[in-house]
Amino acid sequence: MSVHHVTITVSTEGPGTYEITDRVAAEVRRAGCRNGVVTVFCRHTSCSLVIFENADPSARTDLEAWLERLIPARDPHFTHTAEGPDDMPSHIKMALTRTSESVPFADGRLMLGTWQGIFVWEHRAVPHQRSIVITVIGE
């Protein structure tokens, strides 16, 4: 059993889901473990993770639009507005989705389902460099 950390950077260009499945899979291969769990951890509070359908992009478009309708910018109740109208909605969207995910792997391959991809979900409007920690624990 051993532990391997790597931090990757994901460049985002506005709200949306950015797939990182291949990058996570590559780190599992690089770690050289056959069986274990890879933990993906998002080091931010205005973007998040989600494991979602990666075949038809319309599913992601509908998901993003639905969450935008649930938590619109410029809600007059918000008091935390110094960083712009999309900041507080971004924090809420993050809290409703995921900061960490643990994905099993066997024979060096992620045990994802056929339609599953791992995504960084950017909630802010301006471009960001997002930092994601990938930790492989296995044997």
Residue choice 8, 26, 125, 133 for contact with a copy of itself (CB under 8 A): 133
All residues at 6 or more sequence positions from 123 whose CB lies less than 8 Å from its CB, including other chains: 15, 46, 47, 48, 86, 89, 90, 93, 94
Distances (CA, A) of 62 to 57, 88, 138: 9, 21, 36
The two beta strands, 128-138 and 36-42, are: antiparallel
Q: Is 21 in the site for a copy of itself (CB under 8 A)?
A: no
Q: Considering beta carbons, is residue 16 or 39 the nearer one to a copy of itself?
A: 39
Residues of this chain that bind a copy of itself (CB under 8 A) = 1-3, 5, 7, 35-37, 39, 41-45, 50-53, 56, 58-59, 61-63, 65-67, 69-71, 75, 77-80, 82, 88, 91-92, 94-104, 106, 111-113, 115-116, 131, 133, 135, 137-139
